Structure 1
């Protein structure tokens, strides 16, 4: 864990914040690259990216507050995002709603932007998860002594800015998700070279990340499972992502085949 990148007296630059910023930059540059490939003006990409990020931050904070009500003791605590406390799925939903509204308002092809968004989100998310590893947030459950994953466990030291339980071997969920996200980015990058229909990249992103996150939730120690169901609400969203991605892929292939048949 390396939560503080620079610390001079009371002045501190947190590693998590720097890596999240780098992730946003990587997402933006990726959006510009593939937006150009889709024939979308860079000014539109700029506006969509800016307002989507704002919507994502708001959604991420709202979801975290709802999920961790016990951590907030004053009115200012709800807005103190600089202290940490955001939820990725909340950001995904919040940013997605803003993006859909803007695409509808400006009549921009949803599936083309969806493909750009899919490959842009995953690269930024991958870098952001490295930040999670440094900060100790989104940590895994304790690894049992007889587990074959014991040698891969992360033991976080006690730190004033650390979030993870100190001195306990935990499942390495943050670096595992970062590696998985980089692999998904590589797959999407390869697929984009021979994209068959609009929405293909988005559909593959939804399926692959949905599966990855559903499985990782079994080892994450942050979100408690829902009583009776035995799975977390993150896993429910993950399943919806997978189902939505499959439906979108089937829809795109049918549209493509119909277009071929009419030629």
Structure 2
């Protein structure tokens, strides 16, 4: 466990998460591409369902990876103990959007393309919250950019891996936002955004100090293996969308 170095860290964590959700909501509400697909009321319904899906998915993957920390099943419901998995939240939200599009007869890929643009930015706010709360901390370092944390009663300097994530997520948001100005096939923006999110998690995990390992596959962390599967799947999807577009042009 990491002893929080800020007395109000937990409150700031919740603040940054809420701010990220609010920014995502406002940007989606103001996006003409989204409003061309669904109404404002539907956007609100989708937001509420996505929050639930993100919490459930994030908690389930976190518990699955850290099952040994939960002797009582009732502890699984205590979201304030242990936390969430970002990758699980992503998968939970994707399932919610799929269900929403099916129930409301909305084309899935155009809907995903229009709302996922702002997901990296929202996640960047969440990572700022991680930094303020002292969770998702980095591995020990002696470099000048190291930040102090208290790990199990011992103080030390670690990589500010949460801020690495913030910088990369903002860069990904800018890249995906620029792509929206090009006539890309449906699903391409979603594929690029998800590919970027999985790559960022895979790479930054090398500097994480709280990585979880599998005994049978010890070379990478659990989340890196999950990210690797996501990278291969999304890269294949992006390639497929691109080749299909090339055939249509020819």
TM-score tier, shorter chain, comes to: 0.7 to 0.9
Q: Alpha carbon RMSD of aligned pairs, Å?
A: 2.3
Counterpart of 1:242? 231
Contact 1:26 1:124 in 2 (8 A): yes
Counterpart of 2:33? 37
- CA shift in 2, pair 1:222/1:2, >3 Å: same
Residue-pair matches, total:
243
More relative contact order, 1 or 2 (CA 8 Å, 6+ apart): 2
Q: TM-score by structure 2 length? A: 0.87
Q: State the distance in 1 between where 2:110 and 2:172 align.
A: 19
- Unaligned 5+ runs, structure 1: 6-12
Counterpart of 1:9? none
* Within-5 A mapping of 1:134-173: 134-143=132-141, 145=142, 150-156=143-149, 158=150, 166-173=154-161
**1:170 CA drift (Å):** 1.1
Q: TM-score by structure 1 length? A: 0.83
Contact 1:206 1:245 in 2 (8 A): yes
Equivalent of 2:101, from 100, 103, 123? Answer: 103
Q: State the distance in 2 between where 1:107 and 1:97 align.
A: 15
**1:62 CA drift (Å):** 1.9
Equivalent of 1:177, from 165, 172, 178? Answer: 165
- Unaligned 5+ runs, structure 2: none
Q: State the distance in 2 between where 1:140 and 1:165 align.
A: 16
Counterpart of 1:28? 25
**1:166 CA drift (Å):** 4.9
Q: State the distance in 1 between where 2:20 and 2:214 align.
A: 31
Task: Identify the range of structure 1 (174-183 vs 86-95) with the bigger mean alpha-carbon deviation.
Answer: 86-95
Counterpart of 1:196? 184
